[in-house]
Structure 1
Amino acid sequence: MTELFNGKGGLVEGCIEKIDRTGADIISLEDPKLVSVNTTQWHVFAAFGTLKGGRSDWLIEKCTELGASSVTPLLTERSPSISENRVDRLQRVILAAAKQCQRLHEMTLNPPLKVGGLLPIVSQSKLSFIAAAEATPVLNALALSQRESVGSIIIGPEGDFTEAEVTSILRAGATAVGLGPHRLRVETATVALLSTAMLWSDSQPLTDS
């Protein structure tokens, strides 16, 4: 017996009929069923284009496992690009991680986005957080928030956002949150904020707005 999923929430139980070097033949034992998403859809915007040594792979893998709805490489003054070859590799990382954690709904890797393109997204989001040093602790900020169906998480590059970038994101409506007294790497900050936000939103009732 085995279960098959299509990354769109579709799930079906099947039975392996034959296995050979070319693959496996599986017979469906029931009609496919659709499993709906009932958690906050967290969209991660992280400036990880300059990360080296497999650190971006790790970031994407953990975002997939933790349940992020999407990840968007954020292009900033201090992280201005990301190679197309790396994007192709990250797509394979997402697929492998989704299989490993048995995730029914796929995580999307969006095209790279500049800070200017992020601002309209933040302005339309009722739940948007940017990691910032010496800001209000994230748990304090969440205690003052209400769960929404969609949320945004924003992480700057190594060397952080410029002052102008932070100001523009905050003016668009994001809330600055702190992640403790230490300076965190991009991938560490991403996982720390996403984990906290996921656990918090899963424990909160969804608003009617």
Structure 2
Amino acid sequence: MQGLVPRPRFAEFLNRPWRKISRLRASSTPDYANQSRGVLPRFYSEALPPSKGSVVRVQGDEFWHMSKVLRMTISDRVELFNGRGGVVRCCIQKIDQTGLDVIALEEPQVFLPKGTQWHVFAAFGTLKGSRADWLVEKCTELGASSITPLLTERSPSISENRVDRLQRVILAAVKQCQRLHEMSMNPSTKIGSLLPIVAQSKLSFIAVAEATPLITTLTCSRVEASGLIIIGPEGDFTEKEVKMMTEAGATAVGLGPNRLRVETATMTLLATLMLWSDSQQQQDP
């Protein structure tokens, strides 16, 4: 599909080692939560200053936001993050018509992701209006590691211009909720391509009407480093599709007696699993 930034293959997410980025130093500070709730205005920059005293230039939408919307000026302090765990406090050094220069006030740091990395596969390609935007935005806020449009018999495509828009929605949501790691938007995939990923995953859940309730299933499940969340389209998966995924290793779970929209089911499953995995890890010695 055109318009997407190439990403690592899906299977690499399941056991991908998180390492320090570039020359930034990985932080040993245990208080990741505090670092992801910065007190300074935070802006995205693909490139961060490599060391204290070094300078990077900010242009484009972030420059517009800083200079025109917030009316920031020379000597104002900000935080820059790169969406891969890197963050650094900076000071605006220079402003001109095309951008601004910021100087690092400290050595930049990289923080590794914490908790289970949940990868969402949702058949939202046929959602109308702003519903797909809302789904992607809330997945970002809840901390999903990646989201993949799932192509099924009842949701066979997703438009390219919508994908470009969703990338912008993700970045805006990352900044709003102040997470340090950007949620990855993967190219759309068919169920046949998803099956090997399910087979490799130790923790994968598929929302299916009238299946065993999710909470009941979680009482005999254990937390893993990563997991898959699979949500069907309007009209649900076909019986054949459900059989293919459960035979590959996915666990069918129910989300209550009512029929849920795609975005509602996604939020219900993701929020519950995020809270469950977090509580389980808090209990571990």
Fold-level similarity (TM above 0.5): yes
Structure 1 residue 136: Cα displacement: 1.2
Question: Residues of 2 paired with 1:185 and 1:18: CA distance?
Answer: 49
Q: What does residue 191 of structure 2 align with?
A: 115
Q: What does residue 69 of structure 1 align with?
A: 145
Amino acid corresponding to residue 262 of structure 2 in structure 1: V
Question: Residues of 1 paired with 2:224 and 2:178: CA distance?
Answer: 25
1:57 counterpart SS class: helix
Structure 1 residue 203: Cα displacement: 1.3
**1:98 counterpart (174, 179, 203):** 174
Question: Residues of 1 paired with 2:97 and 2:254: CA distance?
Answer: 52
1:68 counterpart SS class: coil
Aligned runs of 1:1-209 on 2, under 5 Å? Answer: 1-19=77-95, 22-205=98-281
Structure 1 residue 109: Cα displacement: 0.6
Question: Residues of 2 paired with 1:141 and 1:130: CA distance?
Answer: 12
Structure 1 residue 23: Cα displacement: 4.0
Question: Residues of 1 paired with 2:220 and 2:96: CA distance?
Answer: 56
Gapped regions of structure 2 (runs ≥ 5) = 1-76
Q: TM-score, normalised by structure 2?
A: 0.70
Amino acid corresponding to residue 223 of structure 2 in structure 1: R
Provide the identity percentage: 73
Question: Residues of 2 paired with 1:157 and 1:98: CA distance?
Answer: 25
Structure 1 residue 28: Cα displacement: 0.8
Amino acid corresponding to residue 256 of structure 2 in structure 1: G
Structure 1 residue 161: Cα displacement: 0.3
Which string of whole-angstrom CA distances, capped at 9 and with x for unpartnered residues, describes residues 80-99 of structure 1?
01111111111111111111
2:257 counterpart SS class: coil
- Paired residues, number: 206
Question: Residues of 1 paired with 2:172 and 2:281: CA distance?
Answer: 32
Cα RMSD, aligned residues only:
1.3
Structure 1 residue 47: Cα displacement: 0.3
Question: Residues of 2 paired with 1:74 and 1:128: CA distance?
Answer: 15
Question: Residues of 2 paired with 1:116 and 1:84: CA distance?
Answer: 21
Structure 1 residue 22: Cα displacement: 4.0
Structure 1 residue 115: Cα displacement: 0.6
Contact 2:115 2:281 in 1 (8 A): no
Question: Residues of 1 paired with 2:210 and 2:196: CA distance?
Answer: 25
Contact 2:234 2:261 in 1 (8 A): yes
Question: Residues of 2 paired with 1:19 and 1:63: CA distance?
Answer: 35
Gapped regions of structure 1 (runs ≥ 5) = none
Query: Which segment drifts farther, 57-66 or 1-10?
Result: 1-10
